[in-house]
Amino acid sequence: MASHSSPPASDAEHPLLNVPRAQLPRHVAIIMDGNGRWAQRRDLPRIEGHRRGVASVRRTVEECTRLGLEQLTLFCLSSENWKRPPEELEFLMHLLEQYMIEERGTIMQQRIVVEAIGRRTGIPPRVLDEMDRTIELTAGNPGMRLCLAINYGGRSEMVDAVRAIAQRVQAGELAPDAIHEETIAAHLYTAGRPDPDLLIRTAGEMRVSNFLLWQISYAELWVTDRCWPEFRTEDLHEAMRAYVQRDRRFGGIGRM
């Protein structure tokens, strides 16, 4: 598995994808959508879709680790999701707590670093305790960074960043004309982390849903009609191959 300090060789082909390693994305972000719809189409309760979705998380994390990604960011709970029925939210919190406990050994074995972004308000203390324990235990690992967006909203993140910058200006630590894009990026939850190269969304929805609004400015988008519980390793590979074929110009002139 690749470490952060030793990226994969640039000219060798990745054995799983038959594409040059250097062309693979460093950072993949996923909007894991469609758990409830998957369940309802099968006359199952919505919570069963969330339960099945955990298996897709496990498969995807394992495969991204094998592919040597630097970071995988998963949209686990949106700040807007608190509008859902209380029993569904309670089950989601239970799943998150269970994941932190049951997957801890595997995460350590795979040398993954676990991080979380989003506001902690509203998350039950028992869940925060297990999440914090996993984050602390994995902090020194050399492998892929697994970032979980929990109670996260892109606009809320920007509000928090602006507040922090305003406090520095008010304290005389920062002049207004010294505020640049780098200043804002340094005050986001993701400060010091690479922006996503590839954003994957399941369940066919063609929107970004308030996810990493600043960070995905130049990300390549890939959407599948499959709901998240149906998301397979082959789908991840297909997204990677599509990414490799994109001409990423960043506002300049692409390859001819």
* CB distance 49 to 39 below 8 Å: yes
* CB distance 174 to 165 below 8 Å: yes
Query: From CA 226, how far away is CA 17, in angstroms rounded?
Result: 21
Q: Quick check: is 160 catalytic?
A: no
- Looking up tokens 């988008």, which residue turns up? 221
Q: What is the biggest distance separating any 2 CA atoms in the chain, rounded to whole angstroms?
A: 59
Helix (H) or strand (E) holding 78: strand 71-78
Q: Quick check: is 235 catalytic?
A: no
Q: How far from chain centre, in Å, is Cα 211?
A: 9
Given the residues 11, 43, 81, 141, the one annotated as active site: 81
Helices (H), the chain: 35-40, 46-67, 86-102, 104-109, 125-138, 154-170, 181-186, 233-245
Given the residues 18, 33, 132, 141, the one annotated as active site: 33
| Catalytic annotation, residues | 33, 81
